[in-house]
Amino acid sequence: MSAELAQDIHVSEEDRLRADIYNFLGLLLARPADQILLDQCSALSGDQGEFGQAMNGLARVAKVSKVKGVETEFNALFIGLGRGELLPYASFYITGFLNEKPLAALRSDMAALGIQRSENVYEPEDNIASLMEMMGAMIVGRFGEPRSLEQQRDFFNKHIGPWAGHFFTDLEGAKNSVFYGSVGQVGRLFMGIEREAFRMSAE
């Protein structure tokens, strides 16, 4: 399907908001936040609910964060000397090892969905940033037509649900987390919201 046709398919405002949150988490976890992304975080505003308050907390932390400090934090968390404090990969969280069956299963499903890895990305596809980006793209149809709620649920339950909440909890509590601790809280709560919504949709 062409991009023009894909754009004609209606996507609800709620689904666009879901996709925006997935994409935002993907951006925050793909590389250290630059000043533009910090400014976007600073402008976030949520309601009085738990998730809204987490977004407000991220905005407050972003306002006092410096690009250099965020880069140092990102490197300590995800890169480090040899490895960072956290390994943000589905295979590691599910099996304890990198490049295991969860990655092979993801690659098979990516091929079936017409999702290809970007040429300039070299790390395994089952990293948290890529999965957030994939999920956001499926919702609004960046890989062709928007995927049905059932397809979204299947992808989430298979590739994200079993481990992403644990990862975001670890990120929230990591000793090197300051800015990314707030990102972890937002991610943890959003994964819970999505998990419950998908559970209810399956009943």
In the chain, domain spans: 3-201
User: What CA–CA distance (Å, rounded) separates 191 from 166?
Assistant: 10
Nearest to 128 by CA among 78, 195, 189, 65: 78
Pure H helices in the chain: 3-8, 13-30, 35-42, 50-63, 67-78, 90-95, 101-113, 128-140, 149-155, 164-173, 179-201
> Which pLDDT value is given to residue 18?
97
Q: What is the mean pLDDT of residues 123-143?
A: 93
**Is 136 in contact with 128 (CB distance < 8 Å)?**
no
CA count, 13 A, side-chain hemisphere, 1: 16
Mean pLDDT of the chain: 92
What are the CA-CA distances from residue 176 to residues 21, 71, 128, 172 (Å)? 24, 12, 18, 10
Q: Is the pTM higher than 0.85?
A: yes
In sign, the C-alpha dihedral spanning 159, 54, 27, 23 is positive
DSSP state of 11: -
Kindly tell me if the per-residue pLDDT of 3 is higher than 90.
Answer: no
Phi, psi of 85 (to 5 degrees): -65, -35
CB contact at 8 A, 106 and 90:
yes
Q: What is the DSSP string of 76-94?
A: HHHTSSSS-S---BHHHHH
CATH 1.10.3480.10 fits 3-201, yes or no: yes
Residue type, 75: N
Digit-coded pLDDT (tens) for 49-105: 999 999 999 999 999 999 999 999 999 999 987 789 999 999 999 999 999 999 999
